[in-house]
Amino acid sequence: MLRVEVGLAIAGAGVALFVLYAVVHRRLAAHARHVHAGPATSELRTEPPAVVNLLVNELTLTPDAVAATVLDLAAGGYVEIVEVGPQTSMLRVRHPRGGATGADAGAGGAEAALPDHQRQLLELARGAAADGDMTVAELTAALGPGSVETWGRFSQSVRANAVELGLVRRAGAGKGVTGPCVAMATAVSIGLLVIVPPLWLLVGVVWPIAVVAGIVVLVWGYGQLPTAEGRAAAAHWLGVRRFLAEQDNLHDLPPAAVAVWDRYLAYGAAMGESPAAVHGLGGDVRTRMSLSDWNRLSRLARDPQARAAQMRTAGEAQLSRLYGGAGAGALGPDDGDFWTLVERTARGWSPAMMALAYDAPGWAAAVDRRLAALQAAAPADLAAAIAELAPTVKHLTETVTRDGVAGLEGATAGVDLTGEPLAEPVRRLLVAAGQHFGCPPDPESLARRLGVADPYRG
C-alpha cells in the first residue's frame, strides 16, 4: 500500500508542477501576443488584409479575413463588385489571358506576385463565375461555407505569409517546452514503476506519450508568436483601426463601396470596422471540424478507392478553374508555343499529380504528350536541352505505366537534377525561362512568377 501511495505522490507531483508551469507558460505566450494600439493614422502599410486580421486579433485568424481578401482583390482590379440593388451585389471576375504581352503581361505578373491565400480565393471565384459574372450566393457556395477544408487551406496560407514577411515566428519547442514535458513524463513513468514494477515495459510506451501530450498542451493555440517587426506592425494597424472607427459611414458601407474607399474598406473588414461589407459578401466559412468531417477523413484513411475518388474530384475542380473544363487533360491543352506549354505544365502540375493517384497510365500518357509537344515547339537554342532531358522523362513514364504509383519512387531515386548529365540542360532551361518570364533563373522564383506554390510539390 505504501508503494502505491509513494508512486502516486511522485506521479501526482510531476503532473501538478507541470500544470502550474503550463498555466504560467500560456499566460506569458498570451501576453506576448497582446499589442497596444499606436496613434490613430490613415497611413496603410503593405501587409495583406488577411495578415492584418491575424495581427490585430492576437494571431487568431477570424472569418472576416476571407471577405477582406475578396474586397482587397476588388481594390486591386482582379474582381469588380457591382451593386445591383439594396444589399444585393454581383461580382465580375477578370480571367487570365494566355500569351499576353505588354500591359496584360504586366497584369499577369502582378497576379503571380499575389500571396498564396489571395490566389486561392481568386481561383475559387473564377471557378464559380459563369461568363465572368456571379452572384454573392455563387461566391459563398464556391467558398464552401459548409466545409472546413477551404478555411484550413486559407488559414495555413495566411500564417505562412505572415512568417514569410517576418511578422510571425514559430514558437520553438526548446527548453521552455521540452524540458518540463520530459520532467513530467519522467515523474509519471517513475510513479508507474513504483506502483507496479512488473509492468516496467510500459514505461517505453507511457513516457513518449506523456512527452507528446505535454508539448501539445503547451503549444496548442500558441504555436506562433509575433516578432518585433510583427508587434510594430500590429501597433500600427491598431492605430489605423482607430482612424477607421472615427469614419462614421464606414460601418454601413456595402461591398461595392470598395470602388471609392479602395483598400481602406478591405482593411476595415479585416479589423471588424466594416461589418456591412463583410455581410454583403455572404456567410462565414466554417472554421472548426465537425463529426462528419472526422468521419469522412477516417473513411478516406481506410479506403484507397475513396481516396482516389476524392483525388479525382479535387483534380477535376482544379482543371476546371485552370482551363475551363476537365476535358483539357491534366496538363492542359497540348497546342500553343513553347512558353505557353511551359506555363500550362507548371500550373497544371498539381492536378496532374492528383491524376497520378487514380490513373497512373493516364498520367504517364499526359506527360508523354506534353514532352512531345515541348520538343516540337522548342526554340532552336533549347531543343538540345529538351532532347537531353527527354530520356529521363521517358524512363519515368514507362516505369509508372508498368508499375503504377508504386514504381514512381524507384524511377526517381537516382535522378539528380543538380548533377551530371542533367545539370547543364536544366541550367540552360532555367536561364531561358528566367529571361522570358522576367524573374531570377531559379525554381523558387519561377514558381512564384507562374503562380505555383511549390515547384517540387508531389
Q: Are strands 88-93 and 168-170 parallel, antiparallel or unpaired?
A: unpaired
Q: What is the pLDDT of residues 73-132, one digit of tens each?
A: 999 988 888 887 666 778 888 765 443 333 333 444 567 778 889 988 888 887 777 666
Q: Name the 3-class secondary structure at 224.
A: strand
C-alpha distance from residue 294 to each of 147, 149, 159, 285, 332 (Å): 12, 12, 23, 17, 34
The residue among 307, 288, 276, 363 whose CA lies nearest residue 89 is 276
CB within 8 Å of 329: residues ≥ 6 apart = 319, 366, 369
Q: Rounded to two decimals, what is the model's pTM?
A: 0.62
The packing angle between helices 2-33 and 175-195, to 10°, is 170
Handedness of CA 135, 94, 443, 413 (dihedral sign): positive
Whether the predicted pLDDT of 250 surpasses 60: yes
Q: What's residue 268's pLDDT? A: 94
Q: What is the pLDDT of residues 359-415, one digit of tens each?
A: 888 888 889 999 999 999 999 999 999 999 999 889 888 888 888 777 777 777 777
**What does the alpha-carbon distance between residue 451 and residue 456 come to, in Å, rounded to a whole number?**
13
The rounded mean pLDDT for the chain is 81
Q: What's residue 237's pLDDT? A: 95
The residue among 47, 32, 33 whose CA lies nearest residue 161 is 47
Question: Per-residue confidence at 215, pLDDT binned at 50, 70, 90?
Answer: confident
Whether the predicted pLDDT of 450 surpasses 80: no
Helices (H), 63-202: 64-75, 102-112, 116-128, 136-143, 148-164, 175-195
CB atoms within 10 A of CB 411: 17
CB 184 within 8 A of CB 68: no
CB 290 within 8 A of CB 311: no
Question: Per-residue confidence at 162, pLDDT binned at 50, 70, 90?
Answer: very high
Tell me the mean pLDDT in the region 29-39. 80
CB 265 within 8 A of CB 240: no
Q: What is the pLDDT of residues 317-336, one digit of tens each?
A: 667 666 665 556 778 788 88
- For the chain, percent of residues with pLDDT exceeding 70: 85
